[in-house]
Amino acid sequence: MTRHRAADLASAAHHDELVPRAGCVVHIDAAHRGLGTASCGPDTFASYLVAAGVHRWSWTLRVL
């Protein structure tokens, strides 16, 4: 969690330019390529690649 949106972080040249937002911002990575890019070693196994196409993902935030 952070107090900054991705655009805030991208536009700031230095951390002292960031102004905290009132709410919390949660950044979630829904999918990753996997280990290996074939730049110096083996590529990612095909079974771990995310295929092209439309993907749907959802989540529920439950406050206890």
Q: Does residue 52 have a pLDDT over 70? A: yes
| pLDDT tens, residue by residue, 35-51 | 667 788 888 888 878 88
| pLDDT tens, residue by residue, 14-34 | 999 999 999 888 888 777 776
Please name the residue ranges forming H helices in the chain.
6-11
**Distance, C-alpha 43 to centroid of its chain:** 21
Q: Which residues contact 16 (CB under 8 A, 6 or more apart)?
A: none
Instruction: List the structure tokens of 55.
Output: 């993907």
As a whole number of angstroms, the distance between CA 47 and CA 54 comes to 18
Torsion of CA 44, 47, 48, 50, to 10 degrees: 110
